[in-house]
Structure 1
């Protein structure tokens, strides 16, 4: 079964963010979450049996985004995703190394 049947399913805009070191004019260092790039995503629905099977595990209360494999920057778990006004931490990124079509991102709301 295909993860995404039609590219029209990629109908949600998500923005990737990462922490970047910054300095104030006084020279004080701090980190700021900066937008890196945006892409279209498919928000995969979690079925009842999946919700029940993840209860009490590290995958509890997660959302799955599916995006195209080829992105402007490599995605890692230090990044966050901004979607619908909320920020989500990437728990796991699963690129499709065989077909190079889709990357599945499992995220949890911060």
Structure 2
């Protein structure tokens, strides 16, 4: 594990029940983080997409992180990651149970 490469601070937020301004029940990020740690930014691919109805292209951020493997912390795949003031949903979670070295997270920006 390369701790010197873990230079980005990320926070994990759980989803709680809330309501939209119209009163419709929905899941929203909680106000307090569940867990916070240092992470290594593995890559941040910018993927281009085109909306078929409007033919307008846009980019979507999909950062991948490596964090220290923690035995006593269970990271739920339904949690959200907050990095540099922006929220990301976890699309992939790969804990290394063999070496117990790092856990890799694949994320994508919340629209």
- State which of 40, 43, 46 in structure 2 corresponds to 1:42: 40
Q: Deviations over 1:10-58 (max 9, x none)?
A: 1110000011247xxxxxx875422111100000125xxxx6xx878xx
Query: Which ranges in structure 2 are unaligned for 5 or more consecutive residues?
Result: 19-24, 50-59
In the alignment, the residues of structure 2 paired with residue 61 and residue 8 of structure 1 have an alpha-carbon distance, to the nearest angstrom, of 24
Cα RMSD, aligned residues only: 2.7
Q: Classify 1:38/1:72 alpha carbon distance in 2 versus 1 (closer, same or farther; 3 Å).
A: farther
Kept after mapping to 2: 8 A contact 1:37/1:72: no
Q: Classify 1:89/1:102 alpha carbon distance in 2 versus 1 (closer, same or farther; 3 Å).
A: same
Aligned residue number for residue 57 of structure 2: none
1:11 matched to 2:15: no
Q: Runs in 1 of length 4+ with deviation above 3 angstroms?
A: 29-32
Aligned length: 92
Query: Which ranges in structure 1 are unaligned for 5 or more consecutive residues?
Result: 23-28
- State which of 18, 30, 33 in structure 1 corresponds to 2:29: 33
How far residue 61 of structure 1 moved from its aligned partner, in angstroms, is 4.2
Give the 3-state SS of the residue equivalent to 1:8 in structure 2.
helix
Aligned residue number for residue 81 of structure 1: 81
Q: Classify 1:100/1:16 alpha carbon distance in 2 versus 1 (closer, same or farther; 3 Å).
A: same
Q: Classify 1:100/1:63 alpha carbon distance in 2 versus 1 (closer, same or farther; 3 Å).
A: same
TM-score, normalised on structure 1?
0.70
